Amino acid sequence: MLLLADIDFDAAAALLARYGLQLHRVADDAPIPGSYWGDCEAGLIGCNVYARGDTPVHSLLHEAAHLIVLPPERRAAVHTDATDSIEEEDAVCVLQALLGDALAGVGRDRVLADMDAWGYTFRLGSAKAYFEHDADSAWQWLQARGLTDAQRRLQLA
């Protein structure tokens, strides 16, 4: 699994900053604030995403995507659990793969493979199959919120 320590922290922070988020590096031996799953999984508090060197990149991108899909006025109230609905969760799974494409040395294929290794489950058997063949409603959800469009979808496919 690709970890935060394996990629350029500053590039990840710059990506999140484009969406009004701040990435905080947590000391390796410290608990991660706002982590829903605990252990090494990324955490959320307001517009802040917390991660350690051993945080999986897919976790960091997933939690950041939860904040990205929220209107800025709702972000301030987020602490640990940002999910609003199944539809949001599905859209966040697509968005985290797209965010992976924006980071050198990561890419959507790695994000999707790491999602499978972590234990995500999808009807078609893998995150990649979901992304490529079963995520139409997630694409529509993102598009309705101005987070992607059909042209961008084709460019990234």
Residue 93 lies in domain: 86-152
Quick one: residue 54, left, alpha or beta (phi over 0 = left, psi -120 to 50 = alpha)? alpha
The amino acid at residue 84 is D
- Amino acid, single-letter form, for residue 125: G
Q: 48 with 19, same domain? A: yes
Give the model confidence (pLDDT) of 63-116 as tens digits: 999 999 988 888 989 999 887 788 998 999 999 999 999 999 999 999 999 999
Per DSSP, what are the bridge partners of residue 3? 56
Query: What is the pTM assigned to this prediction?
Result: 0.90
Residue 117 pLDDT class (50, 70, 90 cuts) = very high
Question: What is the CB-side half-sphere exposure of residue 55 using CA atoms within 13 A?
Answer: 35
Do 9 and 70 fall into the same domain?
yes
Is the predicted pLDDT of residue 157 greater than 90, yes or no?
no
Both 90 and 56 in one domain: the answer is no
The residues pairing with 45 across neighbouring beta strands, listed in sequence order, are 48, 79
Pair 13, 71 in one domain:
yes
Evaluate whether residue 157 is within a structural domain: no
The residue to which tokens 């494409």 are assigned: 101
Is 80 inside a domain boundary?
A: no
Does residue 9 sit in the same domain as residue 69?
yes
pLDDT of 155: 44
Q: Which residue, 75, 110, 136, sits at the end of a domain?
A: 75
From 37, 53, 75, the end of a domain falls on 75
- Consecutive H or E run containing 141: helix 136-144
| Cα dihedral sign, 3-75-30-8 | positive
pLDDT in the model for residue 154: 39
The number of distinct structural domains making up the chain is: 2
The overall average pLDDT reported for the chain is: 90
Instruction: Give the DSSP per-residue string, 45-112.
Output: ETTEEEE-TTSBHHHHHHHHHHHHHS-HHHHTT-BS-----HHHHHHHHHHHHHHHHTSTTT-HHHHH
Instruction: Please state the length of the chain.
Output: 157
pLDDT digits (tens, 9 = 90+) for 35-53: 998 899 999 999 999 999 9
Q: Assess if residue 81 is contained within a domain.
A: no
Same domain, 57 and 106: no
